[in-house]
Amino acid sequence: MSNLKIIVFDNFKEVGKKVDKYLQKLNKTDKSFIVPINAVRFSNGEGKVEIKGTVRNKDVYILSDVGNYNISYTMFKKEHNMSPDEHYQDIKRAISAISGTADKITLVTPLLYQSRQHKRRLQESLDCSMSLQELKSLGVSHIVSFDVHDPSVSNAVHNMAFDNLFATSEILNELITNNNINDVLVVSPDEGAIDRAKYYSTLLQINFGGMFYKRRGTKVKNGKNPITEHIYLGEDVKDKNIIVVDDMIASGTSMIEVAEELKKRGARDIIFATTFSLLTEGPDVFQDAYEKGLFKELYSTNLTYLPNEIKKMPWYHEVDLSEKIANIINTLNKKASLKKVIQTTEDELTKKLVLKRKNDR
């Protein structure tokens, strides 16, 4: 009998249900692995988490999307949308509710909490490292995340298991289904995404084209230093199709500026590929750019919340990672190596790539 149990927060409910179905299939059972919970919010904004099923001596996986801003509650008679900070607090509440009874606690949080605040300059807070240390102290023995902004942040908890996985194979599988991949270059939008872009180019067996250097202003505006200039360093992009890759797209203005610079240099079709599409300014920035012909498509995953309004846009392609998460959880539960999960998806992509190139000739 399996000792596997999963706790799925409402912020990741749609994906969590799919993960549960895949786990049932993998374990040849029709019984759900989900332990029901009740995340309570009081009228003053305080909260608590109640576990409604048994987790005693179980291998428990907590699934949460801290980036889901569509979860709300009533506070002082006003509708309040939950922030990442509040989702993180609920994760801690769930952990405290099962600590001492669960055999092992693994947190599956695709969008790592505060991952962009991963290093300290002068007197800044060091939020990501602090949260990881806090989770470890609460009893989490393993964290599973995706495409972490800076993987070296895992050094903050060097004696806790930390798996940083990627959606690259799944994104590329979808991308090559819909596109001719001849005369293609992979370009990094900044120096921070170079390794990611090289990984894409390696899997696609094509050249890494180059990168943009972002020259930034010194004065902070809206929480960031505005970009004053994009300087391209790399191969000639004239008459080439370009894939621009990054871990996440926040507002999207920088990515659009990169597309403008590539178009000035004679690039043909431009495709954006990212693990997390936050699109904090809404779809208008991308819709305007799409109508101007600046880019063709945006490929992203369902690892963090995005409104249906954006999912229905003609340029947006969602890549479902539910099955991969289920395979990861099932593999860890059986104490097997994740290398097989990663290698399988890469091998499948390679086979599809060979066939695709043969048919596109």
Strand partners, 63: 8, 108
Task: Work out the end-to-end distance of the chain between its first and last CA atoms, rounded to an integer number of angstroms.
Answer: 51
The reported pLDDT for the residue numbered 290 is 98
Using an 8 Å Cβ cutoff, are 209 and 234 in contact?
Answer: yes
E-assigned strand segments in the chain: 4-8, 37-41, 47-51, 59-63, 72-75, 78-81, 104-108, 142-146, 161-165, 184-188, 208-216, 227-234, 241-249, 270-277, 297-301, 316-319
199 pLDDT above the threshold of 90: yes
Q: How far is CA 237 from CA 123, 183, 211, 234, 245, in A?
A: 41, 10, 11, 8, 15
Please provide residue 140's backbone torsions phi and psi, each rounded to the nearest 5 degrees: -70, 130
More confident residue, 43 or 181: 43
Distance CA 32, CA 212 (A): 47
Q: How confident is the model at residue 218 (pLDDT cuts 50, 70, 90)?
A: low
Using an 8 Å Cβ cutoff, are 97 and 50 in contact?
Answer: yes
Distance CA 181, CA 262 (A): 18
Angle, to 10 degrees, between the axis of helix 339-360 and the axis of helix 194-204?
Answer: 60
Across 116-137, average pLDDT? 88
User: CA torsion sign, 306 to 311 to 317 to 322?
Assistant: positive
Indicate whether this model's pTM tops 0.85. yes
More confident residue, 11 or 120: 11
Find the helix or strand (DSSP H, E) in which 20 lies: helix 13-26
224 pLDDT above the threshold of 70: no
Q: How confident is the model at residue 213 (pLDDT cuts 50, 70, 90)?
A: confident
Between 273-282, 297-306, 330-339, 351-360, the lowest mean confidence (pLDDT) is in 351-360
Angle, to 10 degrees, between the axis of helix 253-264 and the axis of helix 284-291?
Answer: 10
The reported pLDDT for the residue numbered 226 is 62
Of the candidates 152, 243, 241, the residue with the CA atom closest to the CA atom of residue 192: 152
Across 148-173, average pLDDT? 92
The reported pLDDT for the residue numbered 276 is 97
Between 274-278, 321-325, 343-347, the lowest mean confidence (pLDDT) is in 343-347
The amino acid sitting at 24 is Q
Interval 57-79: pLDDT, tens:
999 999 999 999 999 999 999 99
Using an 8 Å Cβ cutoff, are 148 and 166 in contact?
Answer: no
Using an 8 Å Cβ cutoff, are 286 and 298 in contact?
Answer: yes
Average model confidence (pLDDT) for the chain?
92
Q: How far is CA 176 from CA 169, 185, 356, in A?
A: 10, 13, 8
Domains and CATH numbers, the chain: 4-165+322-335 (3.40.50.2020), 168-319 (3.40.50.2020)
The reported pLDDT for the residue numbered 216 is 63
What are the contacts of 251-256 at 24+ separation with CB within 8 A? 251/278, 251/279, 251/280, 251/281, 251/285, 252/279, 252/281, 252/285, 252/286, 253/281, 253/285, 254/189, 254/190, 254/214, 254/227, 255/189, 256/285, 256/286, 256/289, 256/294, 256/295
pLDDT over 70, % of the chain: 96
> What are the tokens at 129?
């490292």
Interval 303-331: pLDDT, tens:
999 999 999 999 999 999 999 999 999 99
Q: How confident is the model at residue 214 (pLDDT cuts 50, 70, 90)?
A: confident
Across 229-253, average pLDDT? 92
Using an 8 Å Cβ cutoff, are 286 and 279 in contact?
Answer: yes
Q: Mark out the alpha helices in the chain (DSSP H runs).
A: 13-26, 84-98, 127-138, 168-178, 194-204, 253-264, 284-291, 308-311, 322-333, 339-360
Across 278-302, average pLDDT? 96
147 pLDDT above the threshold of 90: yes
The reported pLDDT for the residue numbered 227 is 64
